[in-house]
A = this chain, B = another copy of it.
Amino acid sequence: MSTPSGPAADPTLDPALQSWVESANDPASDFPIQNLPLCGFVAERDGHAHAHLGVAIGDQVVDVSMLAEAGAIADDDEEVLDALSDPFWYGVLGVPGMAGRVRPVLQRFLRADTAAGQRARRVRSKALRPISETRFLEPVHVFNYTDFYASVHHATTVGSMFRPENPLLPNYKHIPIGYHGRASSLVVSGTPVRRPWGQQAPPDNEPEAGPSFAPCRMLDYELEVGAVIGVGNRMGEPIAVGEAHRHLLGLCLVNDWSARDIQKWEYQPLGPFLAKNFATTISPFIVTLEALAPFRCPAPARPKGDPCPLAYLVDEGDQAAGGFDITLEVLIRTEKMAAQGLDALRLSRGSFRHMYWTVAQLLTHHASGGCNLQPGDLLASGTVSGPEPESRGCLLELTWQGHGPDGKPRPRKPIDLPTGETRTFLADGDEVIMRGHCVRDGFRRIGFGECRGKVEPART
């Protein structure tokens, strides 16, 4: 599996490090002092709402903007202080290496073995707020959003619905398939998502009836991992695959909500459009490449007979640099489940390490024709589905039962919920919760927190 090269030497990853924020020392926490994922949140001050920078630690958020302004951190490094004065991490995004410089500064403030006098203790208590009471913002402004299709398992299952004998198109194993998404409708975890209206195909046996315009009846989620660009490239200048990680700020979770009935009717010949652009949810936290270093991994070995990637997609220097071993899961809680006080039900669990194309390959391919990536751009992986049926990252796949002997699709198999309800696709009031974390011997658990979204009824 994973064969990372040398990150253990990074002292900020030392598993022995503890924080004075007690909850961060719980081995089950997503946010130990070794993680420190970046976020943005609303701080109330003088009766006004301000956008502040934060990092998660245990069950708390540290108000980084306040600390920087109060001179409580980085007082010896003007450049780091400057970098933290910009909202939405602009001062960190575009500056090579800056995320790595901010990290030890924040760790120094948060370490249990940092001495604290009376004033420091006052600053500490003022700087923390519970995650559960925080109103998060998008962690960065995403001006360009791209969605890939990098799981061969997802592509094969979905392809088999339309082309049972030939599920994968001839290009799939040669070229990372991707398309541009809609940046304006990216929302942060917790934002309700309204069921879209859209055109839907006429019934198969009644093409003369024409399409209808109605609320989506096949609303789905897609579990994805998002890569956030830190440093861009100039138009016309590609990025070598061995350099890709230098352009990455970090990763987050993405729910690429999908209206399957709208998609089916509109997507030919130019791809998905309104089926996707009503909303895309991102998690509030960007887990930095520094925190993820121990969890890098190569793409899985290609099955015998698969082509080798073309040279521009092969990192001769370090095959392990491009992928990430992240355990991912999706849960659902319906309104009825919530009313009965039931926990969310897990729908799937899988790993990001099974992706056919690595994050580095996606990034390099994106820029290979000359397209300029910009700080804050989001490159989503496409639905993360693994080889096992329980690792399928969307309902379209989870409830699919293949074709019957008559060549027609078998009826979808609904998912049973503890309330007695069933789901083939999402119903109004359903909340979808995505989680991700990395574990490896000798390292603290690094988690992604949650990417949540609740379906609101369609506009009437």
**B-binding residues in A (CB < 8 A):** 143-144, 149, 159, 169-171, 174-175, 177-185, 187, 194, 196-199, 201, 207, 210-213, 235-238, 259, 262, 265-275, 277-279, 307, 310-312, 365-366, 368-374, 377, 459
Q: How far is the CA of A28 from the CA of B273 in the complex (A)?
A: 41
Residues of B within 8 Å of A278, CB to CB, are 235-236, 369-371
B197 & A371 in contact (Cβ 8 Å cutoff): no
Complex Cα spacing A143 to B144, Å: 8
The reply to whether B274 and A369 form a contact with Cβ atoms under 8 Å apart is yes
B170 near A213 (CB under 8 angstroms)? no
Q: Which of B171, B184, B198, B311 contacts A268 (CB 8 A)?
A: B171
Chain B residue at smallest Cβ distance from A262: B369
Whether A371 and B180, one on each chain, are in contact in the complex, defined by CB atoms closer than 8 angstroms, is: no
- Among B266, B310, B372, point to the contact of A171 (Cβ < 8 A): B266
Ranked nearest first, the 10 interchain pairs of A and B with the lowest CB-CB distance are: A271-B271, A196-B369, A274-B369, A278-B370, A180-B180, A194-B236, A179-B270, A277-B371, A270-B271, A196-B370
Instruction: Specify which of B177, B194, B213, B311 is in contact with A311 (CB 8 Å cutoff).
Output: B213
Question: Which residue in chain B gives the minimum CB-CB distance to A175?
Answer: B199
Per the bound structure, the CA–CA distance linking A235 and B307 in Å amounts to 43
Contact B271 A183 (CB under 8 A): no
A184 contacts which of B169, B194, B373, B459 (Cβ < 8 Å)? B373
Contact of B182 with A180 in the complex, beta carbons under 8 Å? yes
Q: Are B213 and A177 in contact (CB under 8 A)?
A: no
Q: Taking A177-B269, A179-B273, A274-B366 as given, write out 14 further A-B residue pairs in contact, using a Cβ cutoff of 8 Å, ordered by the A residue number.
A: A143-B143, A144-B183, A144-B184, A170-B207, A171-B201, A174-B199, A175-B199, A177-B270, A179-B272, A180-B180, A213-B310, A213-B368, A235-B278, A274-B368
24 cross-chain CB contacts under 8 A: A149-B270, A170-B207, A171-B211, A171-B265, A171-B266, A174-B199, A175-B211, A175-B265, A175-B266, A177-B270, A178-B273, A182-B371, A185-B370, A194-B235, A196-B370, A198-B369, A199-B310, A236-B459, A238-B459, A262-B369, A274-B366, A274-B368, A278-B370, A370-B459
From known contacts A144-B184, A279-B370, infer whether A270 and B269 are also in contact, taking CB-CB under 8 Å. Answer: no
Decide yes or no: A368 and B265 within 8 Å by CB, A177-B270, A179-B179, A180-B181 being known contacts. no
A269 cross-chain contacts in B, Cβ below 8 A: 159, 169, 177, 267, 271
Are B197 and A369 neighbours in the complex by a CB distance under 8 Å? yes
Please report the C-alpha to C-alpha distance between residue A459 and residue B239 in the assembled complex, in whole angstroms.
13
- With A149-B270, A179-B271: A211-B370 Cβ-Cβ less than 8 Å: no
Q: Least Cβ distance of A196 to chain B in Å?
A: 4
B268 touches A169 (CB 8 A): yes
Residues of B within 8 A of A371 (CB): 182, 184-185, 274, 277-278
Q: Which residues of B contact A377 (CB under 8 A)?
A: 184
State the CA gap A39–B274 with chains docked (Å).
31
Which of A277, A370, A372 has the most B CB atoms < 10 Å from its CB? A370
Looking at the complex, which one of B175, B213, B271 makes contact with A312 (CB distance below 8 Å)?
Answer: B213
Chain B min CB distance to A286 (Å): 19
CA distance A372 to B277 in the complex (A): 9
How far is B171's CA from A201's CA once the two chains are assembled, in angstroms?
8
What residues of B have a CB within 8 angstroms of the CB of A182 in the complex?
A: 144, 180, 371
Q: Which residue of B lies closest to A311 (CB)?
A: B213
- What residues on B are CB-neighbors of A175 within 8 Å? 199, 211, 265-266
Given contacts A144-B183, A271-B271, contact A177 B370 (CB under 8 A): no
How many angstroms from the CA of A275 to the CA of B210 in the assembled complex?
Answer: 32
